[in-house]
């Protein structure tokens, strides 16, 4: 069944980890939790494809993990607090993962944060209703009157 | 009787814990963050609470996606720090108050909040970082200066409880505390936030204006904040800013009128805006009440002066 559209799907660059993604991503997140144990980290590193078999993932989920495609993992039901454990297993800092997900270098990402972070202006809405959520529905209606 | 004297809102950025554990607190980047909590440490040392109820969220440490309780109250005698991938943080084991916690659980469940009771739980940075910010660095062989009752809230899987529900739970907690016969001084922490998004292509989002309005509302008009829909938190302040609903449990546990004793805000700590506020319950028309308010106001001014200099 296709994923139902939700109001928060209109937020750009964001995969909200909702109950549906939680169900779908259970194998990804269970795999990531397993990396809390050193023996499991070693087994995964020794043969990634073989280690993943026990979690009954879809081929898409498995590919996303093998390719370290963090955005795709989120889209397929992974949650950032879980997938960060995969990043840590690879020896990456959290900010490195954040930079990867935003498609920038860690240096550029860190500089953006120091300069006050990513602005919400222009980043609120895919459907171009880019104004604060509270006033969104009211102001255009007024103009039409 | 037990009584809640104050509420503390505080971010719980994991990198703050790492900076503390790795001796980076004097680096300019981190000094900017830690120095903002110096007045709060003094305030806490003067307030001397017996118990802290700490509203926080677990980050895939104690709870995997096997089990996702919306509200889980820690009723254990102690809560060890969790291994979040780099070994457990070098902090004391948090000592609980099982009798008091169970009293609160019974009271709020009968008030129609269906809590999960947890008798064994490890706690992660969501709880230990705010304790560090208010109490300073503590070695594993030391003790936190008060007993701790953790209240874990699901804000990881959507939907978390609504702001309104959180505020109402806070009120039920207050009632529970005030019906406990032991003479205890209680503070309540609301942790997490403020604006931040750490996942997906929009990661790094910060909205300081929105954060400031939230802090203002917390003091003056919390009921207005309880009407903020989840969509607004996520759209305006980042997907993970939804953690801020936990601050409304803290606010609900306080009196309607409070005095803002202290506030601190800085951007960034790693990927996140750090926000902090201390709210004291205004004493009812009891003898000495007015003096207490004046003292709180004077203290707030003194803190402002100190942090400005």
CATH of residue A63's domain is 1.10.700.10
Is B85 an 8 Å CB contact of chain A?
Answer: yes
With cut-offs at 50, 70 and 90, classify the pLDDT of residue B87. confident
Query: Helix A106-114 vs helix A94-102: angle between axes, to the nearest 10 degrees?
Result: 100
Question: By the 8 A CB rule, do B122 and B78 touch?
Answer: no
With cut-offs at 50, 70 and 90, classify the pLDDT of residue B290. very low
- Mutation target vs B (from A29, A70, A80; most B CBs, 10 A cutoff): A80
Is pLDDT of B247 > 70? yes
Is pLDDT of A25 > 90? yes
In chain A, which among 67-106 make CB contacts under 8 A with chain B? 71, 74, 79-82, 85, 88, 94-95, 98, 101-103
Is pLDDT of B302 > 60? yes
**CATH number belonging to domain B3-308:** 3.40.830.10
- The nearest CA of chain B is from the CA of A50 a distance in Å of 23
Instruction: Give the residue numbers spanning the domain of A69.
Output: 9-131
Q: Which of B103, B167, B196, B276 is catalytic?
A: B196
Q: Cβ contact (<8 Å) for B64 and A125?
A: no
With cut-offs at 50, 70 and 90, classify the pLDDT of residue A2. confident
Smallest CA–CA distance from A72 into chain B, residue: B200
Evaluate whether residue A106 is within a structural domain: yes
Q: What is the token pair recorded at A46? A: 């020794």
Is pLDDT of A134 > 60? no
With cut-offs at 50, 70 and 90, classify the pLDDT of residue A4. confident
Is B201 an 8 Å CB contact of chain A?
Answer: yes
Question: By the 8 A CB rule, do B163 and B94 touch?
Answer: no
Lowest model confidence (mean pLDDT) among A31-35, B127-131, B171-175, B283-287 = B283-287
DSSP state of A18: B
- The nearest CA of chain A is from the CA of B245 a distance in Å of 16
Q: Which of B93, B125, B92 is nearest to B17 (CA)?
A: B125
Evaluate whether residue A143 is within a structural domain: no
Evaluate whether residue A144 is within a structural domain: no
Evaluate whether residue A63 is within a structural domain: yes
Task: Dump pLDDT digits (tens) for A92-127.
Answer: 989 999 999 999 999 999 999 999 999 999 999 998
Judge if ipTM > 0.85.
yes
B12 is catalytic: no
Q: What's the domain count of chain A?
A: 1
Q: Cβ contact (<8 Å) for B64 and A33?
A: yes
Question: By the 8 A CB rule, do B189 and B250 touch?
Answer: yes
Q: What is the token pair recorded at B67? A: 């089990």
What's residue A100's pLDDT?
97
Domain boundaries, chain B: 3-308
Evaluate whether residue A137 is within a structural domain: no
Integer-rounded Cα radius of gyration of chain B: 18
CA distance A89 to B161: 32
With cut-offs at 50, 70 and 90, classify the pLDDT of residue B308. low
B276 is catalytic: no
Burial A29-63 (b: 16+ CB within 10 A, else e): bbbbbbbbeeeebebbeeeeeebbeebebeeebbe
pTM of the model: 0.91
Q: Which of B173, B50, B185, B187 is nearest to B110 (CA)?
A: B173
Residue B186 burial (C-beta neighbours within 10 Å; 0-12, 13-18, 19+)? buried
With cut-offs at 50, 70 and 90, classify the pLDDT of residue B282. confident
């Amino acid at each position: 069944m296709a994923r139902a559209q939700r109001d928060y799907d209109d937020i750009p660059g964001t995969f909200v980890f909702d109950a549906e993604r939680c169900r779908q991503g259970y194998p990804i997140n269970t795999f990531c939790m397993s990396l809390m144990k050193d023996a499991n980290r070693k087994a995964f590193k020794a043969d990634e494809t073989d280690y993943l078999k026990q979690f009954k993932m879809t081929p898409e989920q498995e590919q996303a993990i093998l390719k370290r495609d963090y955005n795709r993992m989120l889209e397929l039901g992974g949650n950032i607090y879980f997938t960060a454990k995969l990043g840590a297993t690879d020896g990456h800092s959290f900010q490195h993962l954040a930079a990867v997900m935003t498609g920038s270098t860690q240096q550029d990402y860190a500089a953006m944060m120091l300069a006050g972070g990513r602005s919400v202006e222009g980043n609120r809405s895919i459907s171009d209703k880019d104004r604060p959520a509270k006033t969104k529905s009211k102001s255009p209606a007024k103009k039409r009157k | 009787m037990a009584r809640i004297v104050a509420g503390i809102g505080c971010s719980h950025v994991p990198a703050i814990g790492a900076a503390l554990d790795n001796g980076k607190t004097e680096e300019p980047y981190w000094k900017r963050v830690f120095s903002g909590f110096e007045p709060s440490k003094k305030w806490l040392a003067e307030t001397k609470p017996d118990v802290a109820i700490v509203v926080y969220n677990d980050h895939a440490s104690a709870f995997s996606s096997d089990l996702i309780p919306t509200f889980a109250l820690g009723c254990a005698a102690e809560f060890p720090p969790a291994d979040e991938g780099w070994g457990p943080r070098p902090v004391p084991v948090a000592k609980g108050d099982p009798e008091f916690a169970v009293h609160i659980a019974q009271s709020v469940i009968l008030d129609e909040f269906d809590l999960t009771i947890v008798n064994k739980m490890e706690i992660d940075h969501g709880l230990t970082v705010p304790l560090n910010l208010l109490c300073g660095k503590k070695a594993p062989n030391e003790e936190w200066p008060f007993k701790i009752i953790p209240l874990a809230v699901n804000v990881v899987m959507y939907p978390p409880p609504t702001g309104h529900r959180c505020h109402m739970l806070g009120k039920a907690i207050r009632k529970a505390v005030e019906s406990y016969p032991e003479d205890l001084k209680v503070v309540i922490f609301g942790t997490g936030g403020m604006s931040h998004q750490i996942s997906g292509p929009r990661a790094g989002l910060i909205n300081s204006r929105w954060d400031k309005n939230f802090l203002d509302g917390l003091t003056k008009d919390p009921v207005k904040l309880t009407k903020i829909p989840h969509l607004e938190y996520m759209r305006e302040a980042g997907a993970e800013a939804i953690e801020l609903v936990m601050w409304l449990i803290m606010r609900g546990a306080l009196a309607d009128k409070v005095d803002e004793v202290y506030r601190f805000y800085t951007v960034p700590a790693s990927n996140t805006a750090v926000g902090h506020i201390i709210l004291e319950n205004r004493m009812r028309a009891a003898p000495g009440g007015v003096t207490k308010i004046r003292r709180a106001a004077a203290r707030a001014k003194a803190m402002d002066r100190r942090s400005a200099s």
